[in-house]
Amino acid sequence: MSEALWRPSGVELLEAHRLRLVEAAAPRIPPEEQAAMNRVWDEAVQANPALFDGPTVSCTGLERDDPDGLVITWARTTFRLHALRRVPGATAWLPSLFVSVVQPSDDGRLLVVRMSSWTAAPGQWQLPGGSAEPPEDGGLLDTAALRRHAARELAEEIGVGTAPGDLTSWLVTRGEDGSIGVMFLAPSRPASYLDERFADLVVAETALGRDPELDLIALVHSPADLARLSGPHVDYLEPVVRRYAARRS
C-alpha cells in the first residue's frame, strides 16, 4: 500500500524487519516555485550564515512491500529544496530523510540532545543524528550506508565511538511534515561515560576554534522528563521516548 508523504498526518512509528531504498528522479520545480524557493533560502542564509546548500536526500515515496518490509523511494537534492516548505502552495517540495541513534544509558534512560543556536534548528531537542547523504558515484544508499552514517553522527556529535555493526535497526518514523527517520538502537553505555565523552568533545572542539553542533545533552526516563527540558523538541521525540520506555518495561 502506497503511503503519501507530503500530507501532514501526525507522527507514525513504523516497524520493519527489512528496509529497501530505491533511487528516483528529483522533482521538476516550476519556475515560479524556483524563484520563491531561492528567495526564502537567501533570506534564511542572511539570518543564519552557517546554513549550507549541500547535497542531501529527500523522500519521494514510502510503501510496504509486505507486512515486514518498507520501501523508501529517494531523490538527490540539496538543502535549498527544504525552503519550499515555507512557500505557500508549493507543489514540488519533498520530505527529508534522516538517521537517528537511540542511545540508552545503563540505568535505563535515553540520551537526548539540544542543537546549538547557530544550527538550522536552534535550541531544539532531538536524538543524535542528521540528514541522510546521497552516495558517491558507484555507491549504494542502503541500510548499511545509513547505519554507517548513524555511527558517524554519534561520534561527531557526542564523541561516542560505536562500530556500525553494533547498531541495530529499530524503527522508522514519519513526522508531521512527512519526513522519514531511520532509527538505530545503540548498545547501552554508563551515564557517566556519555557525559564524559560529550564534555571531552566540547573541550576539543572549542580548543580548535569550532562551535559544537550540540550545546547540551540530557538523559530521560519518560515523556514527563522531556516536558522539564528547556526548549522545543522535534515531533518524533515524545512518541519515540514513550515507545522506548514501554519496551524497557
Q: Name the burial class of residue 72, with classes exposed (0-12), middle (13-18) and buried (19+) by CB atoms within 10 angstroms of its CB.
A: buried
Per-residue pLDDT at 1: 33
Per-residue pLDDT at 136: 86
Query: Above 70 in pLDDT, residue 4?
Result: no
Per-residue pLDDT at 68: 86
Return the HEC string of 110-176: EEEEEECCCCCCCCCEECCEEECCCCCCCCCCCHHHHHHHHHHHHHHHHCCCCCHHHCEEEEEEECC
**pLDDT for 209-232, tens place per residue?**
999 999 999 999 999 999 999 889
Output the domain CATH number for residue 151: 3.90.79.10
Query: Above 60 in pLDDT, residue 128?
Result: yes
Per-residue pLDDT at 7: 40
pLDDT confidence tier of residue 38, bands split at 50, 70 and 90: very high
Total number of domains in the chain: 1
pLDDT confidence tier of residue 67, bands split at 50, 70 and 90: confident
* Residues 70 and 18 sit within 8 Å (Cβ to Cβ): yes
**Domain limits for position 32:** 2-248
